[in-house]
Amino acid sequence: MANLQGEELGTIKISDDVIMVCTANAVSKIPGVSELAGGLTESISKNILGIDSSSKGVKLSRNDAGIILDIYIIVEYKVKIPQLAWEIQSNVKKEIESITDLNVLEVNIHVQGVNLPGEEDKR
């Protein structure tokens, strides 16, 4: 049996889409987040093309030092937003770094709205 220690076998590249889906899953598990908020292009994709993006509400940027995530959310009514944002930041950073072994430089939270009680009945 050959000793592979010290031999370079190749590189592993993780798609941005995979990271964004993992981020969306991590955010959706946190109580107080009503939903991820999609932007204009995601609305067009869903309404015109019939494509529902699984990474809706997540934007990813890469550089040599690591990745930067921008997360767009709608929060539940009466949630303490600073506390929720801190929880999202720490959970997403921990999960993405453990799954991908990439350095997460920033997790920016953008609150796009508040889900008021009874609003779902009107939709």
* Domains of the chain with bracketed CATH: 16-115 (3.30.70.1350)
Residue type at 105 in one-letter notation? L
pLDDT (tens digit, 9 = 90+) per residue, 10-54? 888 899 999 999 999 999 999 999 999 876 545 444 555 555 555
- 62 CB contacts (<8 Å, ≥6 apart)? 16, 68
- Determine whether 55 is exposed, middle or buried from the number of CB atoms within 10 Å of its CB (0-12, 13-18, 19+): buried
Q: Tell me the mean pLDDT in the region 82-105.
A: 95
Q: Are the CB atoms for 62 and 113 separated by under 8 Å?
A: no
Judge whether residue 83 has pLDDT over 70.
yes
Mean pLDDT of the chain: 84
Question: Residue 70's pLDDT is what?
Answer: 96
Question: Residue 77's pLDDT is what?
Answer: 94
pLDDT band at 91 (very low <50, low <70, confident <90, very high): very high
pTM: 0.78
